[in-house]
Amino acid sequence: MIHNMNKQLVRASIGSALVAVALIAGGCQESGTNWGAGTVPRYVEGRAEVFSPPQIMLVGPDANDMRDNTLFEPPILSRDSAELLRVTAPVRVTGDKRLHIQYRVTFFDKTGQPLPGPTAWFRQSLTPGSRELIVFNSTSPRAEGFQLELRYAR
């Protein structure tokens, strides 16, 4: 008789444990929608940028035309004696017209934060067929990277 009572007690304990697990699991179950009745919405993970930002950007209403008429080589980075970042951006005009452009630069520190303000817009003329160099320096030795914006002169 005691043996049967122990079996019943074990069965009741297991049954109670299963009911408790079912209730707990049921309460944590996601509804499949973000805004189900009485449920907390699931988080949505932000999309990660898979490419780093471009170093050379063509901007303005005629950016596609400028893209069709220019080719850029990879920029050349160096440091001067004051540890300022010096950038040389080689470009070639592939069309048959002289291009009058403007450019400005934003420099970034080692963490990717922009250093105070982009430069003013500078002007330069590019001769068709020849390899031209757009050269600029940072104003702070903290500069580790840059972003060059180019547009047709206004």
Distance of alpha carbon 90 from alpha carbon 127, whole angstroms: 13
Distance of alpha carbon 128 from alpha carbon 10, whole angstroms: 91
Distance of alpha carbon 149 from alpha carbon 130, whole angstroms: 21
Q: pTM of the entire structure?
A: 0.67
Whether domain 56-152 has CATH 3.40.366.10: the reply is: no
Report residue 63 as tokens: 């950016």
Residue in the structure block whose two tokens are 């004696």: 81
Please state the domain extents for the chain.
1-46, 56-152
Q: Where are the beta strands (DSSP E) in 18-130?
A: 56-58, 70-72, 76-79, 85-93, 99-108, 122-126
pLDDT, one tens digit for every residue, the chain (154 residues) = 555 555 555 565 565 655 555 555 555 555 455 555 667 667 777 777 676 778 999 999 999 999 999 999 999 999 999 999 999 999 999 999 999 999 999 999 999 999 998 899 999 999 999 999 999 999 999 999 999 999 999 9
Distance of alpha carbon 119 from alpha carbon 101, whole angstroms: 15
